[in-house]
Structure 1
Amino acid sequence: MTASSPGGHDGVRGEATTERITVDEYQSSEGDYLIYVLHTATYDFARPHVEGKEVLDFGCGTGYGTAGLAGVATRITGVDIAPEAVAHAQAHYQLPNLEFRTIGAIEHSALPFEDDVFDVVVSFQVIEHVRAVDRYLAEIRRVLRPGGVFLCVTPDRTLRLFPGQRPWNEFHITEYAPEGLRSVLATEFPDVELLGMTAGPAVLRAELSRYRRTRLLTYPVTFPGIPDRWRLGGVRLVKRLIGGRSAGGAPTGGRRDFGFGPGDVRVAAGATPCVNIVAVARTPQHG
């Protein structure tokens, strides 16, 4: 699972092209806590879809969301390319119906499963990190049974970026608008339902302000067509100058009350302002 800043303690550190979240790290500021709340709300949304099902969490990160779904799933396997994240998950979350495995990057390695073995695949905040999206989706489709469900959640570029702008998050390859995501998913899934994730203005105010500020400050190094090495160098410099998320330090020693939580997040068709696109894609009933 991905977040907005690399993970930091208990030996969990994101790889060069990925981001990881552990629960304690995201309690130090209101902005960091909002990311945790959005992640938690995403897994809460998934619970009815995975109840009584055999599930794959593709991009499980440090495993806390996967473990939460294990409470209702028949069996769930979490996979991630970061060995440190998987080791953290294995050490902290142990249940009879729960397994964590390290996998290779999907650009070079197939998923280590037979065809048609899962009822549901969840993959949250992952697709924006993937270069070979066609292979990523084909592998997900391959391991899903007929009538299976793919739950995909990714940031909505509509709020984060100017038209045509490259991502200002250095770890993101492509950020999608809703119809762009639908078109990509439709290459493997004929039935795609799009929803939006939002919250009240008091909850989102700081996040939306960050989006507006960051897309403006980084535009000189993220305009359409800029070479990726220039974009990466530029956004890293801007991040150092303006400061990034505070997650990645030591735990704060207790959870603070910021006055909101996962119950304040809403997932619905046409939700605005939409911070994350929530896609529910289905395979045909007969393969």
Structure 2
Amino acid sequence: MELEKTVERIVPKNFKSREEYLLYLRHVFVYEVLESYINSTDKVLEIGFGEGYGTKMISRFADSVIGLDVNEEAVNYAGKRYGSDNCSFEHFDGDRVPFENEEFDAVVSYQVIEHIENDKQYLEEIARVLKKGGTLLLTTPNRRHRLEREQEPWNPFHIREYSASQLSSLLEEIFSKVEIQGVNAQEVVRKIEVDRVKRGITLKKLVPNFMQRYLYGDFMKKYDTSCFFLDENAPEGLDLFAVCTK
């Protein structure tokens, strides 16, 4: 059984273009960063795990992790592929998080909030299941380099996209401490992503798959997660990375 790639779900295999592979690396990078924020004794919840590879990464340095997703197919797939004694996957309705108050030391929510109609209610549910002093780690696309002022998201799956100041204001309504950084990249990698967004289409629509390696070499050997870094100048980030304390 293989989980189907979608516009909003990265499956870590058979990358067809530089853009697709670099987007995957950018996601892997922010999972690697988690090791600096999560302790080996922590019970962690991830909401909206996508394919499941990131949840499995968390299980390597946390005491335990549970991945939640509204897609039952993804839950079944991830459970079979990545499930273990300290890594499990559950389905939920997308509304109420199905756990008791103050049950988790950390909650991870990557590239999810932009899909949520009632973003404040979503964050309040996360705060409810976090222990006092617990941490929410969240990423979302940075609208600054994607949209013009007042422009609605061109991605049909995104209800809204946030600037650093908008995201900070929302999070500060619920959490006692909020720190926002940008997920940035080396200039050559950043330019590839900025150009992709400006076109509003992926390079593979312009260049056939079989031409990608001919034009760009073996891009899977050329790039890795060291191309990315956290930038204290959050507005310049490709994505926003928020660390919030309850």
Q: Give the secondary structure class of the aligned counterpart of 1:209.
A: helix
Q: CA deviation at 1:257?
A: 2.5
Say whether the 8 Å CA contact 2:31–2:54 is kept in structure 1: yes
Say whether the 8 Å CA contact 2:114–2:160 is kept in structure 1: yes
Asked if 1:42 corresponds to 2:5, the answer is no
Q: Give the secondary structure class of the aligned counterpart of 1:24.
A: coil
CA distance in 2, matches of 1:183, 1:81: 27
- Alignment partner for residue 74 of structure 1, among 63, 74, 94? 63
Number of the residue aligned with 1:63: 52
Unaligned stretches of 5+ residues in structure 1: 1-8, 215-238, 248-254
Say whether the 8 Å CA contact 2:75–2:91 is kept in structure 1: yes
Say whether the 8 Å CA contact 1:137–1:188 is kept in structure 2: yes
Say whether the 8 Å CA contact 2:44–2:66 is kept in structure 1: yes
Asked if 1:183 corresponds to 2:169, the answer is yes
Q: Give the secondary structure class of the aligned counterpart of 1:257.
A: helix
Q: CA deviation at 1:28?
A: 1.8
Any idea what the Cα deviations from partners look like across 1:148-167, whole Å, max 9, x if unmatched?
00001001000000001000
Asked if 1:19 corresponds to 2:1, the answer is no
Inter-CA distance 50–177: structure 2 relative to 1 (3 Å threshold) = same
State the TM-score, normalized to the length of structure 1: 0.77
| Pairwise CA RMSD | 2.3
Inter-CA distance 246–193: structure 2 relative to 1 (3 Å threshold) = farther
Same amino acid, percent of matched pairs:
33
Q: Give the secondary structure class of the aligned counterpart of 1:86.
A: helix
Q: CA deviation at 1:256?
A: 5.3
Say whether the 8 Å CA contact 1:128–1:154 is kept in structure 2: yes
Q: Give the secondary structure class of the aligned counterpart of 2:222.
A: coil
Say whether the 8 Å CA contact 2:21–2:220 is kept in structure 1: no
Number of the residue aligned with 2:140: 154
Asked if 1:261 corresponds to 2:224, the answer is yes
Say whether the 8 Å CA contact 1:13–1:85 is kept in structure 2: no
Instruction: Tell me the number of residue pairs that the alignment of Structure 1 and Structure 2 aligns.
Output: 236
Asked if 1:113 corresponds to 2:99, the answer is yes
Higher relative contact order (CA 8 A, sep 6+): 1
Say whether the 8 Å CA contact 2:164–2:234 is kept in structure 1: no
Q: Give the secondary structure class of the aligned counterpart of 1:121.
A: strand
Q: CA deviation at 1:271?
A: 5.5
Q: Give the secondary structure class of the aligned counterpart of 2:220.
A: coil
Unaligned stretches of 5+ residues in structure 2: 210-217
Any idea what the Cα deviations from partners look like across 1:207-261, whole Å, max 9, x if unmatched?
11122233xxxxxxxxxxxxxxxxxxxxxxxx69x949999xxxxxxx9535111
CA distance in 2, matches of 1:22, 1:131: 25
Say whether the 8 Å CA contact 1:28–1:246 is kept in structure 2: no
